Structure 1
């Protein structure tokens, strides 16, 4: 149901209100919504997931990523959210339409904190995601030319 990137970070396609309980059962303490409201009017919108998360005692953060791409404030917001969850000793579930934008944003946040773009690319590939479209951004954020 959810795809692990690390021991503490999972990604997923659009989740439902019912899946919030499944996330809680797996130790998720923060849900990060990377899907803009209205992208698919038939999908659960952020307020519904936020309410379910609150009812389950799970933190909820919205960092919507449109198809226009990623910005520095979004990367910084992801770093902040991940740091809070890590500080609380919890697990994160980030979701979007397919899990791709969540994986890309996670990798950009990691690169900005000095993680190896090559290593991040391998982690993403192992989870079924391709970082090639943002590899130059990863390299720039990490300050590397691998």
Structure 2
């Protein structure tokens, strides 16, 4: 089973998922899987998002692909906010380690005056986002 790290009641992150993880994710109550990892980034052994999508959809989950590399751009942050607002919750986002997913999630809150709360929520899930607190 994937190492799922709950950030809020509506959002969690994980490292790379496999098809085998999807049934347990559905059983855990997640409604949407959000993929932030480009296919092939980890080489040919990395599970394809299309296979994870097929398994997720066969179990009634929503699957959204929003892959990106490096720091999330303003466009990615905007698209992430749209997904988080519109997709059935709770949402489980994944990438290679979970870091880019939680960073994009945090940046969707930029300008809302909740920087310390966002950094604390990330820290509770095991991610240090103190370096971007000033952006939040």
Cα distance in 1 between the residues matched to 2:91 and 2:109? 14
Offset at residue 65 of structure 1 (A): 2.0
Structure 2 CA distance for aligned equivalents of residues 36 and 133 of structure 1: 24
Q: Which has the higher helix share?
A: 1
1:20-69 CA deviation, whole Å, 9 max, x = no partner?
111111111110001011101211111111111111111111111202x2
Give the structure-2-normalised TM-score.
Answer: 0.91
Corresponding residue to 2:116 among 97, 118, 126: 118
Separation in structure 2 between the aligned mates of residue 57 and residue 25 of structure 1, nearest angstrom = 11
Question: With structure 1 as the length reference, what TM-score do the two structures score?
Answer: 0.85
Query: Does 2:45 match 1:42?
Result: yes
What is the Cα deviation at residue 105 of structure 1?
A: 0.7
Where does structure 2 lack aligned partners over 5 or more consecutive residues? Answer: none
Q: What residue in structure 2 maps to residue 27 of structure 1?
A: 29
Q: What do you get for the CA RMSD once the two structures are aligned?
A: 1.4
Q: Deviations over 1:66-98 (max 9, x none)?
A: 02x21111111111111113xx4x210000001
Partner of 1:13: 15
Runs of 4+ residues over 2 Å off in structure 1: 132-138
For the residues of structure 1 that align with 2:113 and 2:46, how far apart are their CA atoms? 34
Structure 1 Cα separation of the partners of residues 130 and 48 of structure 2: 29
Q: Secondary structure at the match of 2:109?
A: helix
Cα pair 2:115 2:134 within 8 Å, conserved:
no
How far apart, CA to CA, are the structure 1 residues paired with 2:30 and 2:113?
Answer: 23
Which ranges of structure 1 fall in alignment gaps of 5 or more residues?
A: 139-146
Encode CA deviations 1:75-126: one digit per residue, 9 max, x unaligned. 11111111113xx4x21000000111111011111225x2511111111111
Aligned length: 133
